[in-house]
Amino acid sequence: MTDPVFTRRRFMLGAAVTGTLMLARWPSRSAPAPAPVLSGTEFQLEIGPIPINITGRPVTGTGINGQIPAPILRWREGDTVTLAVTNRLSERSSIHWHGIRAPSPMDGVPGLSFAGIQPGETFVYRFPVRQNGSYWYHSHSGFQEQTGVYGPIVIVPKDGYAQAFDRDYVVMLSDWSNESPGTIVSNLKFQSDYYNFHQRTVGTFFDDAQRNGLADAVADRLQWGKMRMSPTDILDIGGAAYTYLLNGQPPGRNWTALFRSGERVRLRFINGSSMSIFDVRIDGLPMTVVQADGNDVIPVTVDEFRISVAETYDVIVRPTADRAYTIFAQVEDRTGYARGTLAPQAGMTATIPPMDPRPLRTMTDMGMGGMQPGSMSGMDHGAMSGMNHGSMPGVSGMGVSLEAKKLVGSVGVDNVAEVPTERLNRAGEGFPAGRRVLTYADLRATRPGRDARPTSRDITLHLTGNMERFIWGFDGKKFSEAEPIVLQRGERVRFVLINHSMMEHPIHLHGLWSELENGHGAYRPYKHTINVKPGEKLSYLVTADEPGRWAYHCHLLYHMDLGMFREVRVP
């Protein structure tokens, strides 16, 4: 049998050989400067105005060292880092190291930690780094985080990594709007559905009637109408205002991470956006989640995960084919996406998948239980999502607590969940069947927690809001109307959060770890930001081992700024 000259095997062999040569000889064939990495123990950071052009219209944003996102800070566990931050803006600024356990004066929250950095001033942060993993840093002043003051932190472990990998990339997701944040808030104050162009219409009514029957469709409309709520409220601000960025690049720019087939690639996903929750997947590549919020978890392989604002997930992927893969991060309301490419060579692209169908809020999200008339139409595919449709969501408590009842009808509260559900084993709405989606119940720490003491008390907080007036708070109150939450030094407490609103809230406690009670006992995961689903009730344990005035707030920037903020004080 003749040996044809042009066999596929030979071609691949040759291509592999020369491909390697190419990569070696032309390492940066098509690269304008990528975001630089700053390493070491001493850093000079300058916050200032930056010209930026995302949509074709040049505008002025704010950023660090002339770039958005800010440079990757690469620290080593065990080092003491010194960061001199100079403010070249014309308003007060600050930098908060998100998820980093630093002494309170170094935490960077103007009003709680320090006075902020005045224009022209330099503030020197200095603290020992005693943890490792992926984190991020951002301004805690005004809306500067929205206009570009955010960047990644990578802390190399002193004891080495728990899983091997060959390449390591930061994937920072964010949202950008040319509209000024002040205008965005003002618009929402007048018309809270200003940015929602996917509301239910006469057309969708007829579709629903056709699918579920006229009586059902009418009952459903009446049920939501009576509450003056809309099940299409997924995100306050979506693609109508935002362009979604991956490492500062809009989807069309095709940010690319290079790999060689067979290599293990670590991707550090950081959600550095202000208001956007992303559903991340790489078609053709399952992802093995190895760290959540900077802490090791028993590796769990999924097809997709939802990453809420300020969370981080480190995943390892192993592309075996010599082709490009699309890193696809669609926002929860399906009005846009961020996108990057994993490829053997720069310039390659893979298909960008269509966005999944838009989810709708359900009666479970409203905390009204699942068995309501008309809810059959509202029983969206979210209820059949993921691999966890075995157990019914745990119904907790005997209905509305007394303190929650008092909130009904007040100016800051538009809904009180009568039947909040414990459903950490559910991923949320909007995931088509057949994909493995990460849930909080999947996160199991690799080592048991440090503090095994029983808790001294439960601190229950109700996450509340009034969508119509666009007011957000805890227990129906804004920050300015509330007292600090005081913990004893060294106290072990349980925080119980009940989300009475119909939107997710990523709740972040500065300075102290939040140990999420997700059924794994002593192996509960250590997190800094916990996403509470609408109508959900969850709890986590905190050891108040660090004195200070710690900020505690929803990390949706406009919610935080409009009152969803508290001080947790440890004397």
Partner 1 sequence: MIVRLYRSLLMGLVPIAFSACASPEPAPAEQELAVPLGVDLGGSGPVAAPVARPQGEPGYSERVGQTQMAHAGANDAHGTGTVNSVDLARHKVEVTHAPIPEIGWPSMTMEFPVAPSVDLKEIKPGTRVNFTIEQQPGGMYEIKVITPAGGGR
Partner 2 sequence: MSRQRKILCACGAVLGLAHAAAGQTPATPAQPTVPGEREFGQPVMDQGIFAHAILNQNEGRWNDTETEYRWEGQGWVGTDYDKLWIKSEGTVQSNGTVDDGQDQFLYSRAITTYFDLQGGLRSDIDSRPTRNWAALGIQGLAPYFFDLELTGYASGQGHLAAKLEASYDLLITNRLILQPQIEVDLYSKADPPRLVGAGFSSIDTGLRLRYEFSRKFAPYLGVVYEGKFGQTASYARRIAESTGDFRFAFGVRIWF
Residues between 398 and 457 that touch partner 1 (CB under 8 A): 445-451
Which residues, numbered 243-282, are part of the site for partner 2 (CB under 8 A)? none
CB 160 within 8 A of CB 77: no
Residue 507 or 570 having the CB closest to partner 1: 570
Among 185, 218, 395, 459, binds partner 2 (CB under 8 A): 185
**Token code pair at residue 158:** 């002193």
Query: Amino acid identity, residue 292?
Result: A
CB 405 within 8 A of CB 416: yes
Q: How far is CA 341 from CA 23, 27, 242, 344, 368, in A?
A: 17, 17, 21, 10, 42
HEC profile of 542-556: EECCCCEEEEEEECC
Which residues, numbered 17-56, are part of the site for partner 2 (CB under 8 A)? none
Which residues, numbered 482-521, are part of the site for partner 2 (CB under 8 A)? 483-484, 486
Residue 116 or 344 having the CB closest to partner 2: 116
Q: What are residue 106's phi and psi, to 5 degrees?
A: -100, 5
Taking CB under 8 A as the binding criterion, the range among 101-109, 180-188, 214-222, 304-312 that sits at the site for partner 1 is 101-109
Taking CB under 8 A as the binding criterion, the range among 8-16, 142-150, 204-212, 553-561 that sits at the site for partner 1 is 8-16
Q: Residue 561 binds which entry of partner 2, partner 1, none, with Cβ cut-offs from 5 to 8 Å by kind?
A: partner 2
Q: E strand or H helix at 15, and its extent?
A: helix 8-25
Q: E strand or H helix at 63, and its extent?
A: strand 59-64
If one asks whether residue 167 binds partner 1 (CB under 8 A), the answer comes out as: yes
If one asks whether residue 255 binds partner 1 (CB under 8 A), the answer comes out as: yes
Which residues, numbered 41-70, are part of the site for partner 1 (CB under 8 A)? 41-42, 44
Binding-residue total with partner 2 (CB under 8 A): 60
∠ CA(133), CA(138), CA(142), 5° rounding? Answer: 155
CA–CA distance, 186 with 114 (Å, rounded to integer): 28
CA–CA distance, 358 with 44 (Å, rounded to integer): 44
Residue 8 or 226 having the CB closest to partner 2: 226
If one asks whether residue 295 binds partner 1 (CB under 8 A), the answer comes out as: yes
If one asks whether residue 373 binds partner 1 (CB under 8 A), the answer comes out as: no
Which residues, numbered 83-112, are part of the site for partner 2 (CB under 8 A)? 104-105, 109-112
If one asks whether residue 288 binds partner 2 (CB under 8 A), the answer comes out as: no
Q: Is 27 exposed, middle or buried (0-12, 13-18, 19+ CB in 10 A)?
A: exposed
Q: What are the residues facing 389 on neighbouring strands?
A: none
Shortest distance in whole angstroms from residue 161 CB to partner 1 = 4
Q: How far is CA 505 from CA 289, 344, 346, 489, in A?
A: 22, 38, 37, 27
**Token code pair at residue 192:** 């809270």
Q: What are the residues facing 516 on neighbouring strands?
A: 540
Taking CB under 8 A as the binding criterion, the range among 142-150, 157-165, 272-280, 354-362 that sits at the site for partner 1 is 157-165
Question: Given the structure tokens 């439960």, which residue do they identify?
Answer: 458
If one asks whether residue 57 binds partner 2 (CB under 8 A), the answer comes out as: no
If one asks whether residue 200 binds partner 2 (CB under 8 A), the answer comes out as: yes
Residue 30 or 480 having the CB closest to partner 1: 30
CA–CA distance, 452 with 124 (Å, rounded to integer): 36
Q: Residue 59 binds which entry of partner 2, partner 1, none, with Cβ cut-offs from 5 to 8 Å by kind?
A: none
Residue 62 or 464 having the CB closest to partner 2: 464
Which residue, among 303, 344, 174, has the nearest Cα to 243 in the 3D structure?
174
If one asks whether residue 115 binds partner 1 (CB under 8 A), the answer comes out as: yes
Q: Residue 469 binds which entry of partner 1, partner 2, none, with Cβ cut-offs from 5 to 8 Å by kind?
A: partner 2
Residue 374 or 525 having the CB closest to partner 1: 525
Which residue, among 109, 161, 108, has the nearest Cα to 134 in the 3D structure?
161
CA–CA distance, 542 with 50 (Å, rounded to integer): 39
Shortest distance in whole angstroms from residue 109 CB to partner 2 = 5
Which residues, numbered 393-432, are part of the site for partner 2 (CB under 8 A)? 409-414
DSSP 120-138: T-EEEEEEE----EEEEEE
Dihedral sign from CA coordinates of 289, 290, 296, 300: positive
Taking CB under 8 A as the binding criterion, the range among 36-44, 186-194, 333-341, 344-352 that sits at the site for partner 2 is 186-194
If one asks whether residue 122 binds partner 1 (CB under 8 A), the answer comes out as: yes
| Site residues for partner 2 per CB under 8 A | 104-105, 109-116, 140, 185-187, 189-191, 194, 197-203, 222, 225-228, 409-414, 466, 468-469, 471, 478-480, 483-484, 486, 547-549, 551, 553, 560-563, 565, 567, 569-571
